[in-house]
A = this chain, B = another copy of it.
């Protein structure tokens, strides 16, 4: 599995963020309380959003209460860049968030106008597709332990991961993690317990994980080969 970028959750790379972010700077930030929705699946996608602070989850509901989380978005990320007419997901704040919004119309006008912005935007779309492909691989072929380990590694690999002394912040609930990884909350729980007993990661409260053995964690994630160079050095434990 090729991880072509470190942006496994969010599509935007750090350098590019800055450029597209400029389009959002004119609009005021809105505060979204944890659990509240930002937009709804099926609604007309009249706006794009940027996460300024906090974490957002995108999900779909299919029949009798089956929920699939298709992505998490973090500070700096754009939401809705790859939409045509309607939202293909409901976006909700995982934690208390601050967001900005711009109309889809003006966003596309600005992008169409600027020779500089255009490749950045296209790059963003490509990264979104790549991230979706990675997730397809995870959902197709990895077992529960591999899924969870690869999730934790990705979280820990984020440049803005709030980690000190190997303590990783996990803003989302077990249910969120389960729905993102295509397993149940019980399996998430059991897998964490198993990893803890083997001293790979140890939970500290509901929203923190102590990363005890990062190498082991990466091996267990089932993409050991890929994390060899690029991703590895991004993970700093202190």
Instruction: Give residues in A with beta carbon < 8 Å to B.
Output: 1-2, 4, 41-42, 60, 62-63, 66, 68, 70, 82-86, 88-89, 112, 118, 121-123, 125-130, 132-133, 135-137, 139-141, 179, 182, 222-225
Contacts and interface: CB of A to CB of B under 8 A. Distances in A.
A126 B83 contact: yes
Nearest to A111: B122
Given A83-B126, A84-B123, A122-B122, A137 B4 contact: no
Given A126-B82, A132-B133, A225 B140 contact: no
A12 to B, nearest CB: 13
A7 B85 CA distance: 15
Given A60-B2, A135-B136, A182 B82 contact: no
Nearest to A3: B88
A86 B133 CA distance: 14
Nearest to A142: B62
A125 to B, nearest CB: 4
A141 B83 CA distance: 23
Tell which of A68, A129, A137, A223 has the most Cβ of chain B within 10 Å: A129
A237 to B, nearest CB: 26
Nearest to A112: B118
A4 B62 contact: no
B123 A125 contact: no
B133 A88 contact: yes
Contact of A68 (B118, B140, B182): B140
25 contacts: A1-B60, A1-B62, A2-B86, A4-B84, A60-B133, A62-B223, A63-B222, A63-B225, A66-B141, A68-B141, A70-B137, A82-B126, A84-B127, A89-B133, A121-B122, A129-B129, A129-B132, A132-B132, A132-B133, A132-B135, A132-B136, A135-B136, A139-B139, A139-B140, A139-B182
A140 B83 CA distance: 21
A14 to B, nearest CB: 15
A129 B125 contact: yes
A123 to B, nearest CB: 7
